[in-house]
Every structure is written in C-alpha cells, then in structure tokens.
Amino acid sequence: MVNDQQVPHETPEPTVSPAPVQPTTSPSHKKDYAGYLVLVAGVGALVWGFVSAVGTGWGFWEYSSGLKGVTWAFFLGLGAILIGLFQQWRARRLTAPPPRVRRWMGMLVALVYVGWVGTFLIKALTVPAIHDVSTDLADPPAFQTLQLRADNLDNIPGADDEDMRGLTPQQRWSVVHQRAYGDIRSVRINEPVPLVVAKAERLAKARDWDVAISLPEEGRLEATDTSAFFQFKDDVVLRVRPSDTGEGSIVDMRSVSRVGVSDLGMNAKRVRSFLADLTGTVTAAR
C-alpha cells in the first residue's frame, strides 16, 4: 500500500565561502627604519669628521670651524652607537627581530670614528693646555727666521690657581711645563757644533719638515712640521752651543704650535723623539 503522505523536501543550507585571509606583515618584513638611521648616522659621522679635518687643511675654513665639525661628528657617532644598542636590546624581545646587518655596520663605523676622536679627548685631559715646549725654560731658544705667534703667552693656565697667584704668564708657563714635562731638558752630544747641526738638518728632512734655515757654524736650525689631516704647522728651533769644557755640544730644542691653546702633547712628543734620534741616548746636560 502506497503511502500518499508527502515527504517534506529538505532545502540545502547555503554554503558560505571563507573570507580571504589578508597577509600579515611580520616585523622582520617591515622597513628597518632604525637600522637605516644607525647606518646613516654612523657613516655620516665618519664622513663629516673627515671632511672637517681635510677641509681645514685645504684652507676651506678656519681651524676652529673644522674642530667644531669634528666635535659634532663625534656626538653624532656616539648617538648612532646608543641608538643601535637600544635597538639591539629591543630586538631581543621580539619574536621576529629586524635585520641586524645595517645596525651593526653603522655601529661599527661610528665606533671607529668615536674611538679615534676619543683618544684625543683623553689626551687633552692628561696634558696641560700649553702649546710651547722647550728644553730650556729659563732661556728658551729664540726664533729668528720663523716668527713666534703673537698670542703665545695668552691663556696660560694657572691664572686662578692660588699657588701661582702673582706670577707672570712666562712664570706660569714655566711652572706648568716643569710639572708636565720635567724630563725634557738640554742634552749633551760629544760632537762639535757644526756636525750636530748638520745631523739635525738631515733628521729634519727625513721627517719631511720644511727647513727654513740651517746655520751649522752658528749652531741654529729652524724648521716647520705639518700634520697630516688638519695641516697644523708647528715651528721648531734648535740651538747648539759648545759646552763649558769645550768638549762636545749642548743642544736645546723648542717646538711651538702656530694655532690652538693645547697641543695635546704633540710638541713634547716631537722634542723627545727628535732628541732621542739626534743623540742616540738622551742624557741631561750638566
């Protein structure tokens, strides 16, 4: 027997297609703005400092402007290092940290420049702010061909020091000089004056100094040493006199920077090195 009861027709449920998944950008695929910043700052500091120094030597601007450029470039490099270290600390907390190549490259370049300039800053804190070094403080060798800078005794430290109150700039210079460079003294060489001056002239030319005058018979030599980047010029005078006993010669040397307040110890280094080569073994004159 056929059941005439109608079976209800089931309508199929509409299928809903899933929404397209939007691709998510992981942190590692984002623009590494911090890395670019550190790289640009690090390389920029090196270039800025180099151009400031070389431009001064080429006469494009005054040495004071060049020193300011080197200083500001130092702070820029220091900032690049600090930002890079902060980003390195921050990246350790991310599941997908940004690339490290640009950041580390910028930090490395900045570190090279900051370290180079830092050596000069440390040196400035360990030497007195003078630019005139002589083996004879009571009677320094005098320049006759080259001209001593007019402001040579200006800004000598110690004007506010109670121990040096009332002293003239010349006397303060002598006190400061003796405290810092007490080892720099006149030297004795067991050779006649003309031979000593002739040897000194050969040594000066071997160092690429510009010899202004050399008078072996008078016992005098004057020359100029020029630095590499800034082209700073330091004038040197050598005075050679016969010893009191008539045996050998007494040599005095003086080195003076043409510009600046502090020479960062370069004149003392020059005097020590030159006299060591001139005498072989430096001994104080009596």
Q: Strand pairing partners for 210?
A: 224
Q: Write down the pLDDT at residue 282.
A: 45
Mean pLDDT score, 57-71? 91
Asked if residue 203 has pLDDT above 90, the reply is yes
Burial of 7 (0-12, 13-18, 19+ CB in 10 A): exposed
In angstroms, what is the C-alpha Rg of the chain? 35
The mean-pLDDT minimum among 25-39, 46-60, 142-156, 253-267 falls in: 25-39
Phi then psi dihedrals of residue 215, to 5 deg: -125, 90
Phi then psi dihedrals of residue 198, to 5 deg: -65, -40
Burial string for 24-50 (b: 16+ CB within 10 Å, else e) reads eeeeeeeebebbebbbebbbbbbebbe
Q: Would you say the pTM of this structure is higher than 0.75?
A: yes
Asked if residue 199 has pLDDT above 80, the reply is yes
User: Which parts of 21-168 fold into alpha helices (H)?
Assistant: 33-57, 63-91, 101-126
Q: Write down the pLDDT at residue 22.
A: 52
Asked if residue 195 has pLDDT above 60, the reply is yes
Q: What residues contact residue 19 under an 8 Å CB cut-off, 6+ apart?
A: none
Mean pLDDT score, 107-124? 94
The rounded mean pLDDT for the chain is 88
36-45 pLDDT, tens digit per residue, is 999 999 999 9
Question: Residue 241 has which token pair?
Answer: 């006199």
> 């010029």: which residue's tokens?
233
Asked if residue 11 has pLDDT above 70, the reply is no
Q: Name the residue with higher pLDDT: 28 or 101.
A: 101
- Residue 202 burial (CB count, 10 A): 12
CA dihedral of residues 201, 204, 210, 213 (deg, nearest 10): -20
